[in-house]
């Protein structure tokens, strides 16, 4: 493989906590994000969806069934409905052993639904620069409302414009080029990350949809096409890879010179990279 070839502005691999430190705490909860910040993550990844009453909440699946004790689609529920659910105990049930039953579900930071607004507050109070990588989920359903509300919220936090310190501490990720385009139209300084599950012929040479600056391939793409990183770098794009949890994949990413690793285990990945 080619040795790493950093793109300008990228000095070392950035470690991004996928859904928070989601190996150790229930995904998308305040506890998972606090843990990620403590673990030294450079950035936090979160998926956002719009509730029936127009709030952006951090939930991955279309429905709440897997990660809460409730049922139904996020888009059909109001924030108050979500606030009444327990978003943490499923993880404790999954992780608990007979010898060490877990009582952590009594902590509301591990069980409450998280709004994007609350996550932005957490990042503002982190005491160091912590970036946010926000993924718009199924944005076509809402015909632009997800992006509109997202940009309005980011504007309130002063995160839509570059400053003397550099680009905004926020980037928007999506599998939908249209969603990235909408964000860019409203807030051109916010970098866009184009997520890819497969490498289609159109993107094999490293090129991305117009206006998008960062490639977001799944790690399987790099296993199959290790030359992809160099190609993307050659046309000026950073490469942020998901979801990299195995040591062998971290090693592959390091060897290929990716710019960011998105992982459920930021602490272990930092240690492997010699950063922790
Ligand atoms: O960071 C991108 C990655 O999260 C995309 O896949 O399903 O985990 O949202 P998913
Ligand atoms: Ca995601």
- Is the pLDDT confidence value at 105 over 70? no
Reduce the secondary structure of the chain to three states and give it as a string. CCCCCCCCCCCCCEEEEECCCCCCCCCCCHHHHHHHHHCCCCEEEEEEEECCCCCEEECCCCECCCCCCCCCEHHHCCHHHHHCCCCCHHHHHHHCCCCCCCCHHHCHHHHCCCEHHHHHHHHHCCCCCCEEEEEECCHHHHCCHHHHHHHHHHHHCCCCCCECCECCCEEEEECCHHHHHHHHHHCCCCCEEEEECCCCHHHCCCCCCCCCCEEEEEHHHHHHCCCHHHHHHHCCCEEEEECCCCHHHHHHHHHHCCCEEEECCHHHHHHHCCCC
The mean pLDDT value for 207-217 works out to 96
Q: How far is the CA of 175 from the centre of ligand 1 (A)?
A: 9
pLDDT above 70 as % of the chain = 91
262 lines ligand 1 (CB under 6 A): yes
Work out the average pLDDT over 231-252.
97
Hey, whose CA ends up nearest to atom 7 of ligand 1? Answer: 60
pLDDT confidence of residue 261: 98
Alpha-carbon gap, residue 37 to 206, rounded angstroms:
32
pLDDT at position 191 over 90: yes
- Residue 3 in this model has a pLDDT that exceeds 90: no
Q: Is the pLDDT of residue 101 over 60?
A: no
CA distances from 157 to 28, 123, 145, 207, 266 (A): 20, 10, 19, 32, 25
- Rounded to an integer, the average pLDDT of 230-243 is 97
| Residue 6 confidence (pLDDT) above 80 | no
Residue with tokens 């990279």: 273
Whether the pLDDT of residue 11 is over 90: the answer is no
Each residue of 19-38: pLDDT tens digit?
999 999 999 999 999 999 99
| Whether ipTM exceeds 0.90 | yes
Q: Please tell us whether the domain made up of 14-50+130-272 is placed in CATH 3.20.20.190.
A: yes
Per-residue confidence (pLDDT) for residue 94, from 0 to 100: 79
- Note the ligand closest to the C-alpha atom of 264: 1
Interatomic CA distance for residues 245 and 211, integer angstroms: 30
240 in Cβ contact with 133 (< 8 Å): yes
- Spot the catalytic one: 28, 55, 60, 237: 60
Ligand 1 neighbourhood includes 27 CB (under 6 angstroms): no
4 pLDDT tier (thresholds 50, 70, 90) = very low
Backbone Cα Rg of the chain = 18
Measure 18 CA to ligand 2 centroid, in angstroms: 7
Q: Tell me, using a 6 A CB cutoff, whether residue 195 lines ligand 1.
A: yes
170 Cβ inside 6 Å of ligand 1: no
Per-residue model confidence as pLDDT tens digits over 62-97: 999 999 999 999 999 999 999 999 999 999 777 765
Q: Report the pLDDT value the prediction gives residue 7, as an integer from 0 to 100.
A: 46
Q: 135 CB less than 6 Å from ligand 1?
A: yes
Confidence of residue 8 (pLDDT cuts 50, 70, 90): very low
Residues with Cβ–ion distance below 5 A, ligand 2:
47, 135
Sketch the domain layout of the chain as residue ranges: 14-50+130-272
Q: Which pLDDT score, from 0 to 100, does residue 102 have?
A: 54
* pTM: predicted TM-score of the whole model, two decimal places: 0.93
Tell me the C-alpha distance between 44 and 225, whole Å. Answer: 26
Ligand 1: which of 243, 263, 264, 266 to mutate, most ligand atoms within 8 Å of CB? 243
């Amino acid at each position: 493989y080619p040795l790493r070839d950093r793109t300008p502005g990228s000095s070392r691999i950035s470690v991004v906590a996928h859904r928070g430190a989601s190996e150790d705490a229930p995904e998308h909860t305040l506890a998972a994000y606090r843990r990620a910040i403590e673990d030294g993550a450079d950035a936090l990844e979160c998926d956002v969806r719009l509730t029936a009453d127009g709030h952006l909440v951090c939930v991955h699946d279309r429905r709440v069934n897997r990660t809460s004790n409730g049922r139904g689609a996020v888009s059909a529920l109001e924030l108050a409905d979500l606030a009444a659910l327990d978003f943490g105990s499923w993880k404790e049930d999954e992780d608990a052993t007979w010898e060490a039953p877990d009582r952590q579900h009594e902590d509301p930071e591990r069980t409450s639904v998280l709004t994007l607004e609350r996550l932005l507050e957490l990042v503002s109070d982190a005491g160091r620069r912590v970036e946010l990588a926000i993924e718009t989920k199924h944005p076509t359903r809402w015909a632009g409302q997800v992006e509109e509300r997202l940009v309005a919220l980011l504007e309130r936090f002063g995160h839509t414009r570059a400053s003397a310190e550099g680009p905004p501490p926020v980037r928007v990720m999506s599998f939908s080029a249209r969603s990235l385009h909408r964000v860019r139209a409203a807030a051109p300084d916010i970098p866009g990350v184009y997520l890819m599950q497969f490498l289609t012929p159109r993107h094999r040479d490293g090129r991305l949809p117009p206006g998008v600056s960062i490639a977001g391939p799944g790690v399987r793409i790099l296993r199959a096409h290790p030359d992809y990183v160099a190609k993307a770098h050659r046309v000026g794009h950073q490469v942020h890879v998901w979801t990299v949890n195995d040591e062998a994949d971290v090693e592959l990413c390091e060897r290929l010179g990716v710019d960011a690793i998105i992982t459920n285990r930021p602490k272990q990945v930092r240690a492997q990279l010699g950063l922790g």
